[in-house]
Structure 1
């Protein structure tokens, strides 16, 4: 094929992204550029066996909203999204609905021996 016959590069309608947890577990997804990320976030949550509300998804340090699309965030093929577990403040028991993750967080919290200092500017 000669240079004159080469077709111009047309970006794919799909991209591959990696969601990485805090413990370096990676799950890969192939998603459409114009579909809300809610679908991928829910699929990730189902894959790891947790409710989607447990996670906070971030790209380049910015929190992702479920209704955003890869195009809006300018995601590119191979980009990495961080899945952070929402941290609960306090040292008491959580009286909300029980889940294995909440029970685990409560056990860790009870066993911690630390002092949290808050800045007066907060």
Structure 2
């Protein structure tokens, strides 16, 4: 099993509208010292694994070498944006 080398912080930009939008803006920030920030606009029902894969592809890193964290809780690939609010 590979050691985890990076932890990334996930921030959710909340829409201003009263009615929930079908898509959400998510900003992923790395804490590896480089401060890489990647922004995504995804559907609320989309699995976070797609976002995680796209983030890792963009930065050319192995998805098994990092963790995605929101407010101290690890996000799993099978979670959706609605599930992790």
Q: TM-score, normalised by structure 2?
A: 0.74
Please state which structure has a larger fraction of its residues in helix.
1
Please state which structure has a larger fraction of its residues in strand.
2
The runs of at least 4 aligned residues of structure 1 exceeding 4 Å deviation read none
**Whose relative contact order is higher, 1 or 2, with alpha carbons under 8 Å and at least 6 apart?**
2
- Return 5+ residue gaps in structure 2 as ranges: 1-16
Alpha-carbon deviations, 1:67-90, whole Å to 9, x = none? 00000001xxxxxxxxxxxxxxxx
Aligned alpha-carbon RMSD (Å): 1.4
Larger radius of gyration, structure 1 or 2?
A: 1
Q: CA deviation at 1:54?
A: 1.0
Alpha-carbon deviations, 1:47-66, whole Å to 9, x = none? 00011111100000100010
Q: Across the two proteins, how many residue pairs are aligned to each other?
A: 67
